Amino acid sequence: MQEGATDEQVRHVVERIEQAGARAHPSRGEFVTVIGAIGDDREIVASLQLEGEPGVEKVVPILKPYKLVSSDFRGRDQVVEVAGRPIGGGHFALIAGPCAVESREQTFASARACKAAGANFLRGGAYKPRTSPYAFSGLGKAGLEILAEAREETGLPVVTELMDVRQLEDVLEVADMIQLGARNMQNFDLLREVGRTSTPVLLKRGMAATVEEWLLSAEYIAREGNSAIVLCERGIRTFETATRSTLDISAVPVAKQQSCLPVIVDPSHAAGKRDLILPMARAAVVAGADGLIVEVHPAPEHALCDGPQALHADTFSAWVADVQRCIDLMGKVLASGDAPVAVGA
């Protein structure tokens, strides 16, 4: 729409789109309103001929299969706000904490170390998807209660994983951001349910998913009304065995070009080895990532989940200081509750 388009002109265009059988998704920026016309049949949208309508600046066809998360619709560098802390648009997220909530003592020790080192979000799994059915799979609701206590003490917003729609109510009571793991990237029923909430979502890329498939999964969430989505590259499965997964650094700029969504990186799961996490984190930041999510544990050698890839809590401050140099180099700042939120177009 034109910069001076009135509310009445916007409503009129929305009505025309809906009368044609498409769904209208207005996105209001500081100066410009963009109206997305979403329909299965492109000919419906093409037949609208809206170019001559009052207030319309131009009509742009979006040919990508994902519409609502496309950079063609919302532009780039959308800011997602999580508990008052912005991610994207120059605001960097450092999400840190244990892979799994094992006990109150372990979680609090991790949370305190992460807070002291400068992390601005706390991660921790109350529900854990494990390859082996005999491996520790989390404390469930008790783990969520521990995370809530840790947030109360540290002030760090909580990022925790959701595995099943039956867990949704309990997770929503605690999570400031819901994490959908790689194994659930194409759990379409779960994507839809999360899309019907207003809680921000961290969507990890599947182990064998293309960037397009990843963005289409984000589209499932956005289509239900929740556009507060952050993408997470966590490594893909290749023939290489030197690392747990192969970190696809190129996915960071590609996803940021193709979509409007912030992109963060999980070097812990990609590397699977503690000594590789720092160089991979540096590379991710310089490639343009809007954040990192890493595992931190007070005693990784005794961890019940992914100990070899967990950073030591007592040396985490030095690790953050190293990464901070790359963040500064890229002109970004660690997001805090006091940081101003940029208004996206």
pLDDT above 50 (res 340): no
Q: 78 is written with which tokens?
A: 């959308």
Q: 196 is written with which tokens?
A: 């019907």
Q: Which amino acid is at 12?
A: H
Q: What is the rounded average pLDDT of the residues 84-108?
A: 96
CA–CA separation, 130 and 341 (whole Å):
37
Q: What is the rounded average pLDDT of the residues 8-17?
A: 91
Residue 115 lies in a domain: yes
Residue 222 lies in a domain: yes
Comparing 181 with 57, which gets the higher pLDDT? 181
Q: What is the rounded average pLDDT of the residues 66-81?
A: 87
pLDDT attached to residue 343:
36
CA–CA separation, 256 and 330 (whole Å):
15
* Number of domain units in the chain: 2
pLDDT attached to residue 176:
98
CA–CA separation, 335 and 290 (whole Å):
10
Structural domain including 11 reads 7-61
Residue 70 lies in a domain: no
The string of pLDDT tens digits covering residues 24-48 is 888 877 777 888 887 765 556 566 7
Residue 75 lies in a domain: no
The string of pLDDT tens digits covering residues 226-284 is 999 999 999 999 999 999 999 999 999 999 999 999 999 999 999 999 999 999 999 99
User: What is the residue-averaged pLDDT of the chain?
Assistant: 91
pLDDT above 60 (res 342): no
Residue 175 lies in a domain: yes
Residues 31 and 170 in one domain: no
Residue 341 lies in a domain: no
CA–CA separation, 17 and 123 (whole Å):
42
Residues 86 and 33 in one domain: no
Q: What are phi and psi of 141, to 5 degrees?
A: -60, -35
Residue 67 lies in a domain: no
Residues 101 and 32 in one domain: no
pLDDT above 70 (res 198): yes
CA–CA separation, 184 and 163 (whole Å):
7
Residues 12 and 91 in one domain: no
Residues 164 and 304 in one domain: yes
Residues 31 and 96 in one domain: no
**Segments of the chain assigned E as strands:** 23-28, 33-38, 80-82, 85-87, 91-97, 121-123, 158-161, 177-180, 201-204, 229-233, 263-265, 291-297, 311-312, 333-334
Residues 132 and 243 in one domain: yes
Q: 243 is written with which tokens?
A: 């690392």
Least confident of 57-71, 124-138, 208-222, 329-343: 329-343
Residues 22 and 84 in one domain: no
Global pTM? 0.86
Residues 40 and 178 in one domain: no
pLDDT attached to residue 25:
84
pLDDT above 90 (res 137): no
Q: What are 33's strand-pairing partners?
A: 28
Q: What is the rounded average pLDDT of the residues 132-151?
A: 92
pLDDT attached to residue 270:
95
Residues 115 and 263 in one domain: yes
The string of pLDDT tens digits covering residues 300-314 is 999 999 899 999 999
- What SS3 class is residue 103? coil
- What SS3 class is residue 26? strand
Residue 323 lies in a domain: yes
pLDDT above 70 (res 148): yes
Q: For 146-185, b where at least 16 C-beta lie within 10 A, e where not — what string?
A: bbeebbeebebbbbbbbbeeebbebbeebbbbbbbbbebb
Query: In the chain, how long is the greatest CA-to-CA distance?
Result: 67
CA–CA separation, 255 and 230 (whole Å):
11
DSSP state of 165: G
The string of pLDDT tens digits covering residues 151-195 is 999 999 999 999 999 999 999 999 999 999 999 999 999 999 999
Q: What are 92's strand-pairing partners?
A: 334
Gyration radius (Cα) of the chain, Å: 21
Q: What is the dihedral sign for C-alpha 7, 12, 15, 17?
A: negative
pLDDT above 90 (res 294): yes
Q: What are 24's strand-pairing partners?
A: 37
* C-alpha triplet 28, 31, 34: angle, nearest 5°: 40
- What SS3 class is residue 182? helix
Residue 313: give its domain's CATH number: 3.20.20.70
- What SS3 class is residue 166? helix
Q: What is the rounded average pLDDT of the residues 309-327?
A: 96
Residues 161 and 301 in one domain: yes
Residues 286 and 327 in one domain: yes
